[in-house]
Every structure is written in structure tokens, then in C-alpha cells.
Amino acid sequence: MASSAPELLLISLPQLAAGAGQTLAISALGIVFATLGGVLYGVLATVGNRLLNLLLQVYLELFRAIPVLVWLYLVFFGLPIFFSISIPSFWCAVLVLGLWGASEVGEVVRGALQSLPRGQREAGLSIGLASWQLYGYVLLPQALKRMTPPTINIYTRIIKTSSLAVLIGVVEVIKAGQQIIERTYESVLIYGALFLFFFFVCYPLSAASRALERRWAHA
């Protein structure tokens, strides 16, 4: 057993780093899927198809009504039984974070697209643009600035929520920390380190989001 705090941290570093890698991997994958899914959601929600809007709303409300942790359990325990497939808990977490994140990002994208002047859509259509060209060349580029700060905030929440993966058995940074605590009993130190780890990952993102919002403030 190590005799001092810094020594202990140094020894535990590889294990913690491996765990942190898992946490960041889950978060990164979740963020990627949430972004892709969210843009798709936002575009589909502004196309104007009533059935589509209804489906998207149901999807949104399902992820709002059921807390993310519950979703984690539903997917982790439910998938094997429902669809007789069992996916590793790592991918359960990624799936849930991606789907939940996509609903949140989707609402941001939808809001941003709808805040553009209606004439942009009409002007684009009037020169013969197809729907995908309209979104790709005209609408999404202009919505980008409005979408970015809130989306970065959602990324922060995805990273924080990835911590829940420990509860379905993923060996990420918290689990790594707990394993070290089992050996060394230095819970204050380790939990403190975990606390700071998340802080130093999330705070820069929050600050960046605020800075961008200030810089791109529109009338």
C-alpha cells in the first residue's frame, strides 16, 4: 500500500486512465450518434409532414418521460429478453446516450431551423433546389451558429450521464476508481480525483459554449 497521496495516484494512474478511456469512448460515440441523429431529427421535423412530426414527438416524449438511467436498464435487461440479443453493456450505454442525445440535439436543430426567416426556404425553392439541397446549401449552414452553443451543452450532459454506465457494469472510470478504493481504502482521494476528472473535461466545453454564444449573439 502506498504511503502518500501523490504516490498512490501515480500507481493507480494506468488503471484510472484505462477507465477514463472507456468513459471518454462511450461519451464520444454517444456524442457522434447524438449529433448525426439530432440533425436528422431536426431536418425531418421541419419538412412539414404531419405523420413524421407525430412520430418524432412520440420519440421525444418517450425519452423525456423515462429517465436515462431507466432507459439504460430497459435496454440492458430488456433487449436480451425482448429480442434475444445481448449486447455488451458498453454498447448499451452508447445506444441509450445516442438515442437520448439525438432527441435533445434534434430539438435544438429543429428550433434553429425554424428560427430562420421563412423566405430563405422560399428563395431556395424558387431557384429550383431540391429538398436536400435546400437544407444542405441554404438552411443548415445558416442554422449552424444558432445550433452550436446549446448542442455543446448537450455534449457536456452526455459526458456526465455516461457515468451512469457503471451501474450496468461497464468498467469505466468510476468502476476503475472503485476497484482501487477496494484495495487502498483511499475513497476521498479517488472520488475527489474522479470529481476533478469530470470537471476538467466538462468545464472547458461549458465555457466554450458560453463564449460562442456571446460571440455569435444574433438580434
Q: Which residues contact 136 (CB under 8 A, 6 or more apart)?
A: none
Max intra-chain CA distance, the chain: 74
Q: Is 81 in the site for another protein (CB under 8 A)?
A: yes
CA distance 208 to 11: 33
Asked if 169 and 71 touch (Cβ cutoff 8 Å), the reply is: no
Kindly state the smallest distance separating residue 211's Cβ from another protein, in Å.
Answer: 14
Given 1, 127, 217, 219, the residue binding another protein (CB under 8 A): 127
Q: Is 125 in the site for another protein (CB under 8 A)?
A: yes
The binding track of 30-69 with respect to another protein, each residue x by CB under 8 A or -, is -------------------------------x--xxxx-x
Given 115, 130, 183, 216, the residue binding another protein (CB under 8 A): 130
Read off the amino acid at residue 112.
A
Given 37, 42, 101, 124, the residue binding another protein (CB under 8 A): 124
At residue 216, the 3 state secondary structure works out as coil
Q: Which is nearer to another protein, 21 or 78 (CB)?
A: 78
CA distance 184 to 13: 14
Only segment of 5-13, 35-43, 98-106, 118-126 that touches another protein (CB under 8 A):
118-126
Cell (9 digits) for 99: 438515442
Q: Is 102 in the site for another protein (CB under 8 A)?
A: no
Q: Which is nearer to another protein, 5 or 70 (CB)?
A: 70
Q: Is 171 in the site for another protein (CB under 8 A)?
A: no
Given 3, 85, 117, 182, the residue binding another protein (CB under 8 A): 117
Task: Tell me which residue of 59, 15, 54, 53 sits closest to 37, measured CA to CA.
Answer: 59
Of residues 6-35, which lie at the interface with another protein (CB under 8 A)? none
Only segment of 1-9, 11-19, 33-41, 154-162 that touches another protein (CB under 8 A):
154-162
Q: Is 137 in the site for another protein (CB under 8 A)?
A: yes
Q: Which is nearer to another protein, 102 or 174 (CB)?
A: 174
Q: Where do we find the cell 482501487?
A: 180
CA distance 6 to 49: 59
Task: Tell me which residue of 162, 157, 185 sits closest to 174, measured CA to CA.
Answer: 162
Cell (9 digits) for 133: 439541397
